[in-house]
Chain A
């Protein structure tokens, strides 16, 4: 069993839809929970991160962490074609240096 599980998709939605991306994990030592966005043939870029449990909101993006269920989510409101990319969840133990990535979910937002 992988430490981090993420459905690779692809996920196709119409413009304006709410997108929900999810990951599960098995290592209870993880404290930092990150979401990266990766456009085709580019390096990943950090979208947002949370420490421990709870929610974090940044514009159209909301990250949620449920440590009791070992489940994290990223919600994208009012999705745009420019949101079309691969979204990778990532996690690390305290210190945040040794990061484990999920497989990434490919998202297509249709105009």
Chain B
């Protein structure tokens, strides 16, 4: 398996633009997590899905953020409109049954100018 795949790996955009981050989880994993990592706030859970259903989105910072998982092999995290304070590394992780099966993707580095 190729592991968790995220795209794009780097994104530079201007304030006000829409940003879409993509994630392909490991096949067979039924949990998918979106995290954000910044120097100031560290690694924070934004939202997680179980069997494509959002279970807890209490970490989503504002209504500008939305996440979807239309099928078991694809998820998106969208920011509209983007702001400079959204600049961060966004990680997707997937997990099967058991904590030891959790793997993180390589992350998307987002810079909002």
Contact = CB atoms under 8 A, between A and B. Distances in A.
Interface of A: 32, 34, 41-46, 49, 88, 96-104
A43 B100 contact: no
Contacts of B100: 46, 49
Interface stretch (B11-19, B37-45, B64-72, B78-86): B37-45
Contacts of B42: 88, 101-104
B54 interface: no
Contacts of A46: 99-100, 102-103
A98 B43 contact: no
Contacts of A32: 99
Contacts, number: 44
B107 interface: yes
Contacts of A49: 99-100
* Most chain B beta carbons < 10 A, residue from A42, A88, A97, A98: A97
Q: Secondary structure of the B side of the interface?
A: strand
Interface string B22-54: 000000000101000000001111001000000
Interface of B: 4, 31, 33, 42-45, 48, 55-56, 91, 93, 99-100, 102-107
Q: Secondary structure of the A side of the interface?
A: loop
A49 B91 CA distance: 20
Contacts of A103: 42
A34 B98 CA distance: 13
Contacts of B31: 97
Contacts of A43: 4, 91, 93, 103-107
Contacts of A41: 107
A44 B43 contact: yes
